[in-house]
């Protein structure tokens, strides 16, 4: 392997959250093939151990800690452990997150808080923990995983939409704040792809079933998405939209919003009992 991002960062040091499965694991696999030292974290110890074994077998070097990204103090401790182990950092991937949904009237405030604490504060804790190091180094790259849902805002996903919209906003802000330090910021904006993001869903079963069908029917895979994202980050792109459906919806949202609104209502009206 010869990833372009490895050329930018020959030290090859990364910290990745949610690395036990799905997209996080795919990032690990690509980087491991290029010889990166990867400090991985996940809330589940079993899958985390498996990821470490794969990293080492593929040619990388794995280090790990169990981590709930919504816990600020635990995150700070994990960051210190990472920096003590690697002696610095080149790439932070804020990947950990959950998927869930229901109509706003049926989705409890406690579930809202859970969504925000993991999907938004988990990313914020990554920025707060590692940005001072990147500023001091005057180098580094941050990738945060958002979603096309953060700008499409489909019904039945209010908390998820809001959390991902906030990740987009935070990434845009930090893109400017870190530019003078030569630190890159990239936000990934995919539509549905094959992953297990709904494994901890506590909301509506119909929304869970709908999302599961969309992911199963998608032709986009986590390894493909990770590769495209790493390429975009290597080229210092702020937005990475993939697959084509995400790019199309980005254009519709900005230039033809009425068409997009009709499309979303038509596609989801049956599921959520909305009028056409």
Helices 205-217 and 257-272, interaxial angle, to 10°? 120
Residue 137 burial (C-beta neighbours within 10 Å; 0-12, 13-18, 19+): middle
CATH number belonging to the domain at 4-245, selected among 3.40.109.10, 3.30.450.20, 3.40.50.300, 3.40.50.720: 3.40.50.720
pLDDT at 132 over 90: yes
For the four alpha carbons of 144, 25, 211 and 240, in that order, the dihedral sign comes to positive
Least confident of 14-18, 45-49, 192-196, 197-201: 197-201
pLDDT value for 276: 40
Q: How would you list the strands of the sheet with 91-94, edge to edge?
A: 61-66, 37-42, 13-16, 91-94, 140-145, 183-190, 239-242
Q: What is the mean pLDDT of residues 103-116?
A: 93
User: Cβ distance 207 to 156 under 8 Å?
Assistant: yes
CA 40 to chain centre: 14
Between 218 and 157, the higher pLDDT residue: 157
Instruction: Name which of 185, 231, 222 is nearest 3 in CA terms.
Output: 231
Domain boundaries along the sequence of the chain: 4-245
Q: Which helix (H) or strand (E) holds 180?
A: none
Above pLDDT 70, what percent of the chain?
A: 87
**Averaged confidence pLDDT in the chain:** 91
pLDDT value for 204: 62
What band does 217 get if pLDDT is binned at 50, 70 and 90? Answer: low
What band does 2 get if pLDDT is binned at 50, 70 and 90? Answer: confident
What band does 208 get if pLDDT is binned at 50, 70 and 90? Answer: low
pLDDT value for 130: 98
Q: What is the mean pLDDT of residues 29-41?
A: 98
160 classed as catalytic: yes
The span from the CA of 223 to the CA of 233, in Å, is 15
Which of 75, 121, 160, 175 is labelled catalytic? Answer: 160
Tokens representing residue 195 in the block: 């992953």
pLDDT at 195 over 70: no
CB neighbours (10 Å) of residue 158?
18
pLDDT value for 205: 66
Contacts of residue 168, defined as CB under 8 A and 6 or more positions apart, other chains included, come to 146, 150, 151, 187, 189
The span from the CA of 216 to the CA of 200, in Å, is 17
Instruction: Name which of 153, 24, 48, 151 is nearest 98 in CA terms.
Output: 24
The span from the CA of 223 to the CA of 52, in Å, is 17
CB neighbours (10 Å) of residue 53?
10
User: Cβ distance 204 to 154 under 8 Å?
Assistant: no
pLDDT at 1 over 70: no
pLDDT value for 274: 45
């Amino acid at each position: 392997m010869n990833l372009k991002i490895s050329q930018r960062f020959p030290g090859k040091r990364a910290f990745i959250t949610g690395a036990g499965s799905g997209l996080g694991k795919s990032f690990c696999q690509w980087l491991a093939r290029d010889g990166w030292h990867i400090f991985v974290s996940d809330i589940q110890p079993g899958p985390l151990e498996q990821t470490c074994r794969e990293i080492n077998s593929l040619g990388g070097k794995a280090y790990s800690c169990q981590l709930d990204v919504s816990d600020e103090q635990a995150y700070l401790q994990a960051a210190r452990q990472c920096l003590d182990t690697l002696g610095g950092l080149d790439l932070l991937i804020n990947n950990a997150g959950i998927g869930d949904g229901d109509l706003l009237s049926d989705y409890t405030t406690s579930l809202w808080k859970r969504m925000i604490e993991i999907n938004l504060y988990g990313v914020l804790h990554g920025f707060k923990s590692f940005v001072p190091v990147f500023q001091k180094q005057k180098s580094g790259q941050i990738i945060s995983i958002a979603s096309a849902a953060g700008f499409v805002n489909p019904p039945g996903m209010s908390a998820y939409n809001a959390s991902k919209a906030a990740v987009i906003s935070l990434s845009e802000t930090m893109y400017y704040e870190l530019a003078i330090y030569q630190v890159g910021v990239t936000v990934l904006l995919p539509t549905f792809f094959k992953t297990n993001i709904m494994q901890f869903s506590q909301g509506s079963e119909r929304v869970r079933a709908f999302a599961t069908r969309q992911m199963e029917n998608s032709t986009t895979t986590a390894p493909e998405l990770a590769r495209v994202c790493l390429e975009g980050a290597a080229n210092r792109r702020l937005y990475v939209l993939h697959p084509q459906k995400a790019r199309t919806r980005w254009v519709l949202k900005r230039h033809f919003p009425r068409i997009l609104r009709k499309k979303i209502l038509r596609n989801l009206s049956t599921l959520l009992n909305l009028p056409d």
